[in-house]
Amino acid sequence: MVTTTALEAELRALAGAVPDPELPVLTLAELGVLRDVRLTAPDRVEVCLTPTYTGCPALETMAADIERALHDHGIPHVEVHTVLSPPWTTDAITDEGRRKLAAFGIAPPRPTGPGPVPVDLTLRCPHCGSTDTTLLSRFSSTACKALRRCETCREPFDHFKEL
Amino acid sequence: MTPRTATPALPLGDDALILSHRLGEWAGNAPVLEEEVALANIALDLLGQARVLLSLAGDEDELAYLREERQFRNVQLVEQPNGDFAHTIARQLYFSTYQELLHGHLATGDTDLAPLAAKAVKETAYHRDHAEQWTVRLGDGTAESHTRMQRALDTLWRFTGELFDPVDGLDSVPWHDLRATWTTRITTTLERAALTLPEGPQRSGWAAGGGRQGLHTEPFGRLLAEMQHLHRSHPGATW
């Protein structure tokens, strides 16, 4: 059985509290990209991160930010690895993460797990709450977002697209 | 440097790298801002896939920047010039449909490509969707857009046969079935777009080999010159 020490839990919380470089409203834990934090020696920590998209350019910044946070906590050796499997999905974003995205003006992703396929109607404008929105572009300012417009308040907004 | 040239990660990584570079050439030239962003995002996904795949085959930078033309194993389709927007969309339609099917198969296997394939297949589904939507919009659009889209499909058709040549090391892939499914999907999209499935041969008349054997078309040398120039002129340059 794999056990987690109190120190590991503390380090995991620290690494998880690092903000996402491109969506600073979210922490890495809320985004669901932090897979593991392990002490491999008393002064050595191994961190596993998974990318949202394979080419996500924020990954290197995330790794550097985690290293800095753990160094500041007195851990001299920090190794950050990238793991691809199982692939990240937007279902890994926590409920708190979804709430923060909406408050930030980004429509959170709809569930992709087993069950009925979500229909566009369930997507709400993060500004006025209207469900009458139109897709402008499947690709937006980052790989993980699509660009939509609200037909009620006429504001364009980003949608964290389902993956 | 002794790249593991036997690994199938190399040809698949080269496909992603070279198509990523071609799509990147649209930056600053796309017809509308949304497409500028879309093509750059697709290029970024492909670059991410290429980095993982080439790292399985050796040192990613050395493989990308220091190989000669004959050492690249990408299919000739991905090195074809962007042409007009319809050409780029036709190339995207042919390739992303193929890539989604191939990654979908590899994702269920147990090779070292499976984790990347499972990740990439979801990204590629967006690329294919983007290409299909534009194919329908252009094909079923104006007389001009229809003519250009059909011309692009016809022009690139002769590069589609090579997609289904078995790749060394991917013996478990049912290439024949892949080709049949690909043809069905392309046919369905073209019907929706009021376009016609090209009829000519799916290979060029000169059949001495293809990109998987390191034999490339004339525009590829210029692409490599641009892609590798900085690294070769200023080794180790950073900014």
Q: Is A54 on the interface with B (CB under 8 A)?
A: yes
Q: Which residues, 6+ apart, have CB-to-CB distance to B124 below 8 Å?
A: B45, B96, B99, B100, B103
**pLDDT higher than 80, residue A1:** no
Residue B116 C-alpha from the chain's centroid: 16
A35-56 in b/e form (b: 16+ CB < 10 A) is: ebbbeeeeeebebebbbbbbbb
A122, A114 in Cβ contact below 8 A? no
In this structure, is residue A99 part of a structural domain? yes
Q: Is A7 on the interface with B (CB under 8 A)?
A: no
The C-alpha angle A18, A21, A22, rounded to 5 degrees, equals 135
Q: CA-CA distance, A37 to A80, in Å (whole number)?
A: 9
Q: What is the mean pLDDT of residues B94-108?
A: 97
Fold of B9-228: Ferritin (1.20.1260)
3-state secondary structure of A146: strand
Boundary of a domain, candidates A25, A59, A82: A82
Please tell me whether residues A129 and A152 are part of one structural domain: yes
Q: Say yes or no for a CB contact (<8 Å) between B34 and A51.
A: no
Q: CA-CA distance, B140 to A22, in Å (whole number)?
A: 38
Q: Say yes or no for a CB contact (<8 Å) between A54 and B41.
A: no
Please tell me whether residues A23 and A54 are part of one structural domain: yes
Please tell me whether residues A62 and A122 are part of one structural domain: no
Please tell me whether residues A46 and A97 are part of one structural domain: no
**pLDDT higher than 60, residue A116:** no
In this structure, is residue A104 part of a structural domain? yes
Q: Which residue has the higher pLDDT, A48 or B203?
A: A48
Sheet holding A77-82, edge to edge: A34-41, A44-49, A77-82
pLDDT at residue number A140: 87
Given B35, B48, B114, which is nearest A54 (Cβ)?
B48
Which of the residues B53, B122, B132 would you substitute to probe the A interface, choosing the one with the greatest number of A C-beta atoms within 10 Å?
Answer: B122
Q: Say yes or no for a CB contact (<8 Å) between B44 and A84.
A: no
CA distance B83 to chain A (A): 22
Measured in degrees and rounded to the nearest 5, phi and psi for residue A102 equal -60, -40
Q: What is the mean pLDDT of chain B?
A: 93
DSSP state of A27: B
Q: Say yes or no for a CB contact (<8 Å) between B115 and A53.
A: no
In this structure, is residue A1 part of a structural domain? no
Closest CA to B52 of A81, A75, A78: A81
Q: CA-CA distance, B183 to B177, in Å (whole number)?
A: 10
pLDDT in tens, A36-62: 999 999 899 999 999 999 988 899 999
Q: How many helices (H) and strands (E) does chain B have?
A: 9, 0
DSSP notation for B44-59: HHHHHHHHHHHHHHS-
Please tell me whether residues A78 and A120 are part of one structural domain: no
Q: Is the dihedral of CA B221, B222, B227, B232 positive or negative?
A: positive
DSSP state of B132: H
3-state secondary structure of A79: strand
pLDDT in tens, B126-184: 999 999 999 999 999 999 999 999 999 999 999 999 999 999 999 999 999 999 999 99
Closest CA to A141 of B174, B112, B44, B208: B44
In this structure, is residue A20 part of a structural domain? yes
Q: How many domains does chain A have?
A: 2
Please tell me whether residues A154 and A114 are part of one structural domain: yes
Boundary of a domain, candidates A47, A82, A117: A82
Q: CA-CA distance, B163 to B176, in Å (whole number)?
A: 11
Q: CA-CA distance, B71 to A2, in Å (whole number)?
A: 46
Please tell me whether residues A66 and A129 are part of one structural domain: no
Which chain B residues have a beta carbon less than 8 Å from that of A86?
118
Domain that holds residue A36: 6-82
Please tell me whether residues A30 and A74 are part of one structural domain: yes
Q: Is B125 on the interface with A (CB under 8 A)?
A: no
Confidence band for A4, pLDDT divided at 50, 70 and 90: confident
In this structure, is residue A88 part of a structural domain? no
Q: Which residues pair with residue A64 across a beta bridge?
A: none
Q: What is the mean pLDDT of residues A132-151?
A: 90
Which chain B residues have a beta carbon less than 8 Å from that of A84?
52, 115-116, 118-119
**pLDDT higher than 50, residue B1:** no
A114 cis-preceded (ω within 30 degrees of 0): no
Please tell me whether residues A126 and A73 are part of one structural domain: no
Which value does ipTM take for this structure? 0.84
Q: CA-CA distance, A108 to A145, in Å (whole number)?
A: 10
Closest CA to B164 of B117, B115, B105, B116: B105
Confidence band for A115, pLDDT divided at 50, 70 and 90: low
pLDDT in tens, B12-68: 999 999 999 999 999 999 989 889 999 999 999 999 999 999 999 999 999 999 999
- From the CA atom positions of chain B, what is the Rg in Å? 17
Boundary of a domain, candidates A55, A82, A109: A82
A64, A34 in Cβ contact below 8 A? no
